[in-house]
Amino acid sequence: MKTLGEFILEKQHDFPHATGELSALLSAIKLGAKIIHHDINRAGLIDILGENGHANIQGERQMKLDAFANETFKAALEARVVIAGIASEEEDNLVIFGKDRATEGKYVVLMDPLDGSSNIDVNVSVGTIFSIYHRITNIGTPVTEQDFLQPGNKQVAAGYIVYGSSTMLVYTTGCGVHAFTYDPSIGVFYLSHENVQFPSIGKMYSINEGYYSKFPMGVKKYIKYCQKEDEKTNRPYTSRYIGSLVSDFHRNLLKGGIYIYPSTAQYPNGKLRLLYEGNPIAFLAEQAGGKATDGYQRILDIVPQKLHQRTPYFVGVKSMVDDADRFMAENP
Ligand code: AHG
Ligand code: MN
Ligand code: MN
């Protein structure tokens, strides 16, 4: 039985920067995860369900737990001196942790503190997503927005926590994907899945088919392809959609599947946010032998223009994403 802390120490050499920094960063994430786990498991008993009456900068109604998770992770990350500041789906602007940290902090963290918030009130699993970059401006000068608007291929670490039938933390530093299951009785994450890889052949597709009529033609045709019988390629695929990217991705990673959130009439640029959802999950997907695109190009190569930028999203087993991309290219 190996703990997350022991595993990180052992793999220090995975992290090209100084000793102890990844431990400090991930231990902040680990602490936030334990607090959220604790509260989610008492949802219904304490006052954390429902909306809080506010909207975030993207006009989405905030749930109480969105705001609580945001504050929890913000406080945990602020306590680590290596972090200059954060960007969050629930914050209008960058949060820089004071003057000294702005100049001396080496890392920036971007996060979706609570993913799948529409599932909270009905006891369905939700998640947290995080993405870590080394700053590109010089230490000694204040960190700038430029440090946060890096393409995903510059991430030094990324991961998610899924609060499901058990709570798991899954992360990568670019040397494979490793998953840890939380034992709440003693408050420890144990290594449960080392070097996770997508199955080579997929069998599930995940998309909100309620919006079918609003999808691009390539997606419509790909859905029909998924439903068509063909023994050689394992079709028809089975359909699974939770409505929480973390949970849908986690299942597809272990069982073999594709997740799609394309552009729609309501969301012409897609719904998912490139920096908080798209990039970290794409980094994990590629490290697990999968693929992530916007239907045409690699997610990790997109140069972000603004913090809350959205992107159409196709992620999962490589051969499945290849097929979906082909349908997109053939049906402009
Ligand atoms: P969030 O709760 O962080 O706003 O993210 C929700 C996202 C994603 O997790 C999920 O897959 C998708 O929105 C669901 O959207 P629809 O309800 O439109 O299918
Ligand atoms: Mn989300
Ligand atoms: Mn969210």
Mutate to test the pocket of ligand 1, among 208, 242, 313 (most ligand atoms within 8 A of CB): 208
If DSSP codes are grouped into helix, strand and coil, which group holds residue 168? strand
Ligand 3 centroid to 141 CA: how many Å? 31
Give the model's pLDDT for residue 304: 98
Ligand 1 residue neighbourhood (C-beta within 6 Å): 60, 89, 112, 115-118, 208, 243-245, 271
DSSP notation for 93-156: S-EE--HHHHHH--EEEEEEEEE-GGGGGGT--EEEEEEEEE--SPTTS---GGGTS--GGG-S
User: Ligand 1 atom closest to Cα of 259?
Assistant: 11
> Cα–Cα distance between 178 and 196 in angstroms, integer?
6
pLDDT at residue 271 is higher than 90:
yes
Q: From the alpha carbon of 119, which atom of ligand 1 is closest?
A: 2
- Mean pLDDT throughout 17-36? 87
List beta partners, residue 260.
314
* Residues present in the chain in total: 332
For residues 283 and 13, give the distance between their C-alpha atoms in angstroms, rounded to a whole number. Answer: 19
- How far does residue 264's CA lie from ligand 3's centre (Å)? 19
Q: Which residue has the higher pLDDT, 234 or 309?
A: 309
> What's the 15 CA to ligand 1 centre distance in angstroms?
31
For residue 53, the tally of other CB atoms under 10 A from its CB is 8
Which of the ligands is closest to the CA of residue 208?
1
CA of 19 to the centre of ligand 2 (A): 31
Give the integer Cα–Cα distance in Å for 249 and 239: 13
Per-residue model confidence (pLDDT) at position 97: 96
- Ligand 2 centre from 179 Cα, in Å? 20
pLDDT in tens, 57-113: 888 888 889 999 999 999 999 999 999 999 999 999 999 999 999 999 999 999 999
DSSP code at position 223: H
Q: Which atom from ligand 1 is nearest to the alpha carbon of 267? A: 18
Which residue minimizes the CA distance to atom 12 of ligand 1? 243
**248 Cβ contact list (under 8 Å, min separation 6):** 206, 240, 241, 242, 259
Q: Which atom of ligand 1 is closest in space to residue 276's alpha carbon?
A: 3
The ligand 1 atom nearest the CA atom of 115: 3
Residues in Cβ contact with 230 at an 8 Å cutoff, skipping those fewer than 6 apart: none
Q: How many CA atoms lie within 13 A of 199 on its CB side?
A: 13
Give CA 45 to chain center in angstroms: 28
Q: How far apart are CA 201 and CA 251, in angstroms?
A: 14
Percentage above 90 pLDDT, the chain: 82
CA distance 8 to 18: 13
Q: What is the per-residue pLDDT for 57?
A: 83
Nearest residue (by CA) to ligand 1, atom 16, is 243
